[in-house]
Structure 1
């Protein structure tokens, strides 16, 4: 299963990148995240892990697998026998930044997972995109 959502944010790339990678602050502006505990001190880097609690889900540990400053932050977790890969991609778009969030679910049972949870995941991704856009606008404005 693969789902993604993109939105163009009219804010400096540095603001969107900081919001994207400061995962501990996500619960302050993103309704889809209740709590994030960074398990690896310091800035995010390949191998960094965080314990993430989202509404209606058990806590999961996500581990960074790729980070390209100002461009990409990818992390993954394993749940229910499935590998889940979350990506945050930033790219220039006119006067703003295209912010793309995606989730890829692979493994035996991913088709059933998509059938039962695909719609919910698409809604969550739209909410996350909107939250990044709103937070970036607030930071840029003041």
Structure 2
């Protein structure tokens, strides 16, 4: 079961990527995340992140793929489920891009978990996309300094 959202952002890919990849600062721009703590240093394949979200158990995610400047994927597993989160950016014109965020539930309980969290997942994906867009398009210092 997959859920996703896409949003166009009036900013270059590099600027959006700098904010998106700085996962520990996500709580500053989306209420769907209370805290993110990288457990193994920076964002790279194999790195783990502990994420605390409202109404969802605190979960450790492992980065399984990363294409610098374009996308990253991380996964979390529980009894009978695997949750995959993808975060991608593609250029759509000079100085603008499209961000696509998705969550996929798999495993023998994945469909059940996905249906149970469907409404919440849709809300959180929309909040994350809108928060990212608002921060980056605002020109706030956080948006350009996120990779520092």
TM bucket normalised to smaller: over 0.9
How many pairs does the alignment contain?
A: 141
User: 1:5 touches 1:126 (CA, 8 Å); kept in 2?
Assistant: yes
What secondary structure, in the 3-state scheme, does the structure 1 residue paired with 2:57 have? coil
What secondary structure, in the 3-state scheme, does the structure 2 residue paired with 1:101 have? strand
User: 2:12 touches 2:91 (CA, 8 Å); kept in 1?
Assistant: no
C-alpha distance in structure 1 between counterparts of 2:79 and 2:4, whole Å: 21
Query: For residue 44 of structure 1, what is the aligned residue in structure 2?
Result: 43
In the TM superposition, residue 138 of structure 1 has moved relative to its aligned partner by 2.1
Query: For residue 26 of structure 1, what is the aligned residue in structure 2?
Result: 26
In the TM superposition, residue 135 of structure 1 has moved relative to its aligned partner by 1.1
In the TM superposition, residue 76 of structure 1 has moved relative to its aligned partner by 0.6
In the TM superposition, residue 140 of structure 1 has moved relative to its aligned partner by 6.1
What secondary structure, in the 3-state scheme, does the structure 2 residue paired with 1:59 have? strand
Gaps of 5+ in 1: none
TM-score calculated relative to the size of structure 2: 0.89
C-alpha distance in structure 2 between counterparts of 1:121 and 1:55, whole Å: 11
Cα RMSD, aligned residues only = 1.5
Query: For residue 120 of structure 2, what is the aligned residue in structure 1?
Result: 120
Gaps of 5+ in 2: none
1:2 aligns with 2:2: yes
In the TM superposition, residue 109 of structure 1 has moved relative to its aligned partner by 1.7
What secondary structure, in the 3-state scheme, does the structure 1 residue paired with 2:114 have? helix
1:82 aligns with 2:85: no
In the TM superposition, residue 70 of structure 1 has moved relative to its aligned partner by 1.2
Offset from partner CA, 1:1-39 (integer Å, 9 cap, x none): 100100000012111101111001001111100011110
What secondary structure, in the 3-state scheme, does the structure 2 residue paired with 1:33 have? coil
User: 2:19 touches 2:132 (CA, 8 Å); kept in 1?
Assistant: yes
TM-score calculated relative to the size of structure 1: 0.93
